[in-house]
Amino acid sequence: MSVTHGAHPGESLSAEEAAQLSPEEAMIAGAEADGIYIVHRRERFPIAGTKAEKRAERTIAAVFMVGFLAAVAFIVVFCGAVPFEWQLPGVGNQNYRFFTPLIGGLLGLSLACVGIGVILWAKWLLPEEEAVQDRHDGASDLTEQILVAGTLVSGYQDLGLARRSMLKTTLGLAGGALGLVPLVALVGAMIKKPNRGEGQSLFHTPFEPGMPIVYADGRRVGPGDLLPGGIATVFPGIPGGVKDPDAPTLLIRLKPGETVKARKGQENYHWGDYVAFSKICTHAGCPASLYEQKTGRLLCPCHQSQFDVLQDAKPVFGPATRSLPKLPLDVEMVDGRQYFVAKGDYPEAIGPSFWERP
């Protein structure tokens, strides 16, 4: 193949002449018509199918295959092969610690492999080329359009996609699996609703009907323990109940004359002058436990949300938008003394708001 270098020779070609050129000749002529002169161009493997070329091709395919496997592994891990829910130390499956490093590492590996594979393909298999470019303005005529088409076809032929089926397949696998990753992460996160399956735990705490209510040291809490206006942080009386992140509950004894304007259906959740609210702030989950007796307000120290206990812990200031859930209280007699028990679990999810909250 030879194309005369000169002052934009491609511009002097007619459409008929341009149509006679091979794709590579058209690409070079087109480049020259645009003021780009290819001063050096050489195939990396002038003889196709040599051992060296096959070796390069296999190496690149192996890199793409690793990218494919990493993307598939990401999807498998994300879809539940590794637990993601936090567990108390020493209790339950601790493998949740590997979830985030694994999905981060696998996604990084997959992206890196596809990137490295593409770079190696360009470096090892595409023709070597050096070009010098002039610049020009203006629209392209038909001849130039044909030459550009030739340029694109030549580039495609240089890629060797038609005869490099192994590379085509492995790149397709890696790229396809990688393309699925954002889809799985985005769509999967919407399908995996927190009120279904394992996520149902978002709506429950360890409290259940008849469960003793205890202090952090395990002692049972009784109605005679607090002075009017007093508060205590209490927990479900089961092993590990004190450490359960959903369990901290604030027991409040109202002052004489104070009453709580209860939510509909929760009119009998108090016991005498005692009420109990979740201590987990409904804004971002900090412990809301600064009780101001005088105003009956419960303050969260993190972002200054305030909850009016007498309005059933309704948020009256700050970023929280939802009332603190209320625990239904009852008492039982043990050895002639009254102790608090839960009448049931919280009727709604405790803590920060999330979508699909009832």
Residues that bind ligand FES (CB under 6 A): 281, 283-286, 288, 300, 302-303, 305, 318-320
Q: Which is nearer to ligand FES, 194 or 285 (CB)?
A: 285
Nearer to ligand FES, 180 or 284 (CB): 284
Least CB distance to ligand FES at residue 204 (A): 21
By C-beta, is 288 or 331 nearer to ligand FES? Answer: 288
Distance of CA 61 to the CA centre of its chain: 29
Reference 196, options 76, 325, 355; nearest CA is 355
Least distance from ligand FES to the Cβ atom of residue 329, Å: 24
Nearest approach, Cβ of 317 to ligand FES (angstroms)?
Answer: 9
Q: Which residues 6+ apart lie within 8 Å of 345 measured at CB?
A: 204, 205, 207, 208
Judged by CB, which is closer to ligand FES: 154, or 282? Answer: 282
Of the chain, the end-to-end C-alpha distance in Å amounts to: 74
CB of 353 to ligand FES, least distance (A): 11
Question: What is the nearest approach in angstroms of ligand FES to the Cβ of residue 252?
Answer: 17
Smaller CB separation from ligand FES, 114 or 288: 288
d(CA 117, CA 123): 10
The amino acid at 94: Q
Which one, 303 or 337, has the nearer CB to ligand FES? 303
CA distance 104 to 210: 44
Min CB(299)–ligand FES separation in Å: 9
Q: Which residues contact 240 (CB under 8 A, 6 or more apart)?
A: 88, 91
Q: For 218, which DSSP code?
A: S
What ranges in 21-131 are assigned the alpha helix state H? 23-33, 51-76, 99-124
CA distance 159 to 164: 8
